[in-house]
């Protein structure tokens, strides 16, 4: 029996996926959440023997997205396998997900039997990536460093340079350097434009 925890912010989609997976006798949905933070909180509250085998998650969600959840799970519960389902095929998302140790990456448009097959393959230790997504992952490399990405993300949230510096525990001068480097790398006109480009690429 494959124990699956489902994370998806759209209730109708979440219910539909849960119903489809529930038709397979080898899969059990042990919990559901509408965002990554709620899922993480719920799993942290469980005894280790009650953890899911697989977390099946969307990417774009409020509070904590699927890639951020994957990074947290990899750090805290490495035995839990992550599978992402998405309508987004941005190369940056795929690269970040793979770096976070995600074992499966499939499109929501895929037939239900393809999703079920992917979960079973991941459970057997295989890595499953939809061909369309694998091709996209090769197309575009993320030029941003981790620190540049964090500074740009905070800037896109509306924080001033001084506030970004405090959050990242760095000087204002270093913060401005990170933002300037990010703007230059993305051929952007300013930090807001750079954040927009990075989000479109799936790098932010």
Residues 5-64: tens digit of each pLDDT: 999 999 999 999 999 999 999 999 999 999 999 999 999 999 989 999 999 999 889 889
Q: Where does residue 21 fall: left (phi above 0), alpha (psi -120 to 50 degrees), or beta otherwise? A: alpha
Q: In the sheet that 27-33 helps form, which strands lie side by side, from edge to edge?
A: 27-33, 2-7, 54-57, 81-86, 104-107, 128-129
pLDDT of residue 135: 55
pLDDT of residue 124: 94
pLDDT of residue 164: 94
pLDDT of residue 83: 96
d(CA 117, CA 128): 9
Does residue 155 contact residue 164 with C-beta atoms inside 8 Å? yes
| CA 13 from centre of chain | 17
Which residues does the chain have with pLDDT short of 70? 88-92, 131-141
- And the tokens for 139? 């197309």
d(CA 174, CA 33): 38
The CA-atom distances, in angstroms, between 186 and each of 6, 18, 56, 82, 114 are 35, 40, 32, 30, 36
Topology (CATH level 3) of domain 146-201: Arc Repressor Mutant, subunit A (1.10.10)
Give me the residue spans of the domains in the chain. Answer: 2-137, 146-201
CATH superfamily of the domain spanning 2-137: Response regulator (3.40.50.2300)
pLDDT of residue 133: 66
């Amino acid at each position: 029996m494959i124990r699956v925890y489902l994370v998806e912010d759209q209730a109708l989609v979440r219910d539909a996926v849960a119903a489809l997976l529930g038709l397979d006798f080898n899969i059990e949905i042990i919990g559901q959440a509408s965002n990554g933070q709620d899922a993480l909180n719920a799993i942290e509250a469980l005894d280790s023997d009650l953890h899911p085998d697989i977390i099946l998650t969307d990417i774009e969600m409020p509070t904590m997205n699927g890639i951020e959840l994957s990074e947290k799970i990899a750090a805290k519960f490495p035995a839990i396998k992550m599978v992402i389902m998405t309508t987004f095929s941005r190369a940056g998302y795929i690269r970040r997900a793979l770096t976070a140790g995600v074992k499966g990456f499939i499109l929501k448009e895929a037939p239900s039997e393809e999703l079920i097959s992917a979960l079973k393959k991941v459970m057997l230790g295989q890595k499953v990536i939809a061909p369309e997504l694998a091709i996209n992952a090769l197309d575009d490399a993320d030029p941003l460093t981790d620190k540049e990405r964090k500074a740009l993300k905070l800037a896109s949230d509306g924080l001033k340079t001084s506030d970004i510096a405090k959050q990242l525990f760095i000087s204002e001068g270093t913060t401005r350097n990170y933002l300037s480097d990010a703007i230059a790398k993305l051929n952007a006109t300013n930090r807001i434009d750079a954040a927009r480009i990075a989000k479109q690429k799936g790098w932010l």
